[in-house]
Amino acid sequence: MKKTLMVAALTGVFATAAHAQSSVTLYGLIDAGITYTNNQHGHSNWQQTSGSVNGSRWGLRGAEDLGGGLKAIFTLENGFGINDGSLKQGGREFGRQAFVGLASNQFGAVTLGRQYDSMVDYVGPLALTGTQYGGTQFAHPFDNDNLNNSFRVNNSVKYTSANYGGFKFGGMYGFSNQADGFANNRAYSAGASYNWGGLNVAAAYLQLNSNGATGAAAAFNSGGAVSSDNTFFARRQQTWGAGANYAFGPATVGLVYSQTNLAGLAGIGAGASGQTGGIGFPSSSAHFQNFEANARYALTPAVSIAGSYTYTRASLAGTRPHWNQFNLQTAYALSKRTDVYLQGEYQQVNESAIVGADINGLAASSNNKQVAVTAGLRHRF
């Protein structure tokens, strides 16, 4: 009898241990380069840059098997500047991502914390700015559609579905966390994607409410869904986009369209505008449309070439600026983890009196044209 009880007890212990298997992974990416820009506030500039393509980061990713296809998951991801070691994303310790949740093989995942919105998750991978083939400096003007994830959403609850025969979908809600202002700086988004053979299509929507003070009487809720890394300060931001690409052999070609509408626009953040202190506007409406055509080609397993053209038109502060930007990158893989790259961008805007040319991630030009070239090194671990 005693032996039977002991065997039963040990069986329970081993079963619990099997179900409680867990793993934690340390990972990261370091992107450093030398960038030449022909005009930054009226002067040419050579500078050492961090994250010209992909933001430098390190993180911890973990999972615990809870049994029955269910597991607990978490991600803590830090962003930093390799040139001076400083914290990015407003000085946050884990500013890129910080979330915990439950994931099911059958039903998908629910996570809570600081997370990416659905534009980043679904449409971003179809634009070169959301990939390793262009990144930061290939973003649309001011990263107005957030495809380069200029900001994340705090206080958020996100659902991500399982993969149902190539179809995936999800949604997110970012709380204001304010007792007397439920809609004061909140966010919500939804998106979906479908993959079939070489075809990838996706669409998403994002809305931010009161993500910035729009008048002297307005009280900005800094503890809400978006803070300190705002692209726009507005009463309401509505962004949606869709895209598709098709891979055939070593080549991939794609198209992306996105649109952002702003009501009660008070200004553009310094990080997005390239101007010290940002750009302020009287409370007004604004509208952006972005059209991107892109392509990439693997010349060999180690050598890739990628390029894109983006046309952006806008209604902004009583003017109608439009931007043309041409981007080109080539990369050579020294190993599976390390590569070197050379990339360049040319941007021209017609309304230099309102906003000069402003390649994302760099200081703005003093006129309507800007050229930048970067030679860089990326290492993944």
Q: Are strands 108-115 and 22-40 parallel, antiparallel or unpaired?
A: unpaired
Q: What is the dihedral of CA 177, 80, 327, 300, to 10 degrees?
A: -120
Burial bucket for residue 299 (CB in 10 Å: 0-12, 13-18, 19+): exposed
Q: What is the CATH number of domain 22-380?
A: 2.40.160.10
Top-confidence residue, 35 or 8: 35
Most distant pair of Cα atoms in the chain: their distance = 90
Count of beta carbons in the 10 Å neighbourhood of residue 184: 19
pLDDT given at position 8: 44
Alpha helices (H) in 243-313, listed in sequence order: 270-273
Compute the average pLDDT of residues 63-71.
96
Alpha helices (H) in 216-289, listed in sequence order: 270-273
Q: Are strands 186-196 and 303-315 parallel, antiparallel or unpaired?
A: unpaired
Top-confidence residue, 73 or 355: 73
Q: Say yes or no to pLDDT of 177 above 60.
A: yes
3-state helix, strand, coil in the chain (%, to 5): 10, 55, 35
Domain parsing of the chain, residue ranges: 22-380
Among the listed residues 263, 207, 268, 186, the one whose alpha carbon sits nearest the alpha carbon of residue 233: 268
Q: What is the CA radius of gyration of the chain?
A: 22
pLDDT given at position 30: 98
pTM of structure: 0.90
Residues 326, 349 contacting (CB under 8 angstroms): no
pLDDT tens readout for residues 188-247: 999 999 999 999 999 999 999 987 765 444 577 889 999 878 899 999 999 999 999 999
C-alpha to C-alpha distance for 269 and 360, rounded to whole angstroms: 12
Structure tokens at 207: 């809305």
